[in-house]
Amino acid sequence: MASNAGKTVAEILTTKRASIQNAPLSEGSPSWDEIMHLTWEEIEAKAQRGEPGFRTFHKLLKRKRFDK
């Protein structure tokens, strides 16, 4: 998603509803606090590698449903 390109998770979350952080995460997932410094590209790469929780983070962060 080009609109998130180069942004950190913290920057992306400023455009999302706070409820996004209440979504259940899979076991072994890092917390939201642990990924705040990661860029969108890092989230995409970790999701593609299948690291625990990152497919969920990727899906949540790109969904327009959670936009403010």
Q: What residue segments make up the domains of the chain, in order of their start?
A: 9-14+31-68
Q: What is the pLDDT of residues 16-50, one digit of tens each?
A: 999 999 999 989 999 999 999 999 999 999 999 99
Burial class (CB in 10 A: 0-12, 13-18, 19+), 5: exposed
Q: How far is 43 from 51, CA to CA, in rounded Å? A: 10
Band (pLDDT 50/70/90 cuts) for residue 1 is very low
